[in-house]
Amino acid sequence: MTQDREVREAIDRLLAAYPLLLDSGDITGCAELFVDEAQFIVNGEARATGRDGVTAMFQHVVDSGSSGIHLPGPPLVEIAGDGLTATVWQSFLFVRSGSNTVVRGMYRDVAERDGDRWRFRSRDVEIYPGPTPRA
């Protein structure tokens, strides 16, 4: 197996693990997908910095009843020439638990090799506005 293929498979595992861990309520496991100095940004606003901040943010989401299921689309992955970082774009749908509310958006991630695994350095989420309700 070539190094590029191994890198791509590791990044694909990272991207697949995020919704599975978060949606199942494994906050600690999901936060482990982020480097210690990670940033989580939503619509241009830093919501969490550092793995501890990401953990607290996810815990708040679960505690506030805002959890649900993430439905990610296929990612576009650009691996840097050195094979140590990658930029990822991935669209998603999110369905809030107990409702028919669907949110759509886009992740723009920077992933990096951290020892023997890949983690998110940053996860920049852009949430798109939904349709305007008819009167």
pLDDT in tens, 44-65: 999 999 999 999 999 998 898 8
On whether residue 133 sits in a domain, the answer given is no
On whether residue 64 sits in a domain, the answer given is yes
On whether residue 57 sits in a domain, the answer given is yes
- Backbone φ, ψ for residue 24 (5° rounding): -90, 0
Whole-structure pTM value: 0.91
Q: What range does the domain containing 29 cover?
A: 3-128
What letter represents residue 130's amino acid? G
On whether residue 89 sits in a domain, the answer given is yes
pLDDT in tens, 81-116: 999 999 999 999 999 888 888 999 999 999 999 999
On whether residue 134 sits in a domain, the answer given is no
On whether residue 135 sits in a domain, the answer given is no
What's the number of domains the chain is made of?
1
Q: Show the beta-strand stretches assigned E in 1-135.
A: 34-42, 45-49, 68-72, 76-79, 85-96, 102-114, 117-128
On whether residue 72 sits in a domain, the answer given is yes
On whether residue 43 sits in a domain, the answer given is yes
| CATH code assigned at 62 | 3.10.450.50
